[in-house]
Amino acid sequence: MNPRIHATTILAVRCRGQTAIGGDGQVTIGQTAVKHDTNKIRRLGGGKVLCGFAGSAADAFACWTASKTSWRSSRATSAGRPSPWPRTGGPTGCSAAWSPCWSPPDAETSLIISGSGDVIEPSDGTAGIGSGGMYAAAAARALLKHTPLPAAEVVRESLLIAADICVYTNSNLTIETL
């Protein structure tokens, strides 16, 4: 049996003129946490686009490597450009990787992009992916509704809540802001 590698829980929040994205550091193979300090957040487009990767670790980082050459700093070219691989998963099997991406210059567009080419724009600027992503997104929506916290703090507190619930999420966080 070949155990699946998991690298999960990414949350991105756009609020009050700020954008923040964060991820936990846990990598799990089967039932074992094998790494606790992985960085799942990357900057693309000359640092103007933030991406977080969840799904199979190998698939996610292969997608990141492939996307480095296809992303542009402009939202029109990055989101409107066809995927560099076919919807079947392409040369690296990217269909298991999901990436919430934020595309400035105006920081008004949030996108969830799957490795198979699906593009979803969240209605409220909040997106969670990975095994703890829905827990983190729910916590973020509650914090946004009831607190004046800045985006980075909403991401931090929400990921910590997810880490208390999801066994595939830890509290070793990486958070980036635009």
3-state SS assignment for residue 90: helix
Report the distance separating Cα 91 and Cα 107, nearest Å: 31
Catalytic annotation, pick one of 8, 19, 38, 109: 8
Of 68, 6, 66, 1, nearest to 33 by C-alpha is: 6
Which residues neighbour 46 within 8 Å (Cβ) at sequence distance 6 or greater? Answer: 73
User: How big is the CA angle at 12 (ends 11 and 17), to the nearest 5 degrees?
Assistant: 150
In sign, the C-alpha dihedral spanning 43, 48, 144, 142 is: negative
Which amino acid type is present at position 153? E
Whether the CB-CB separation of 45 and 161 falls below 8 Å is answered with: no
Is 92 among the catalytic positions? no
Catalytic positions, please? Answer: 8
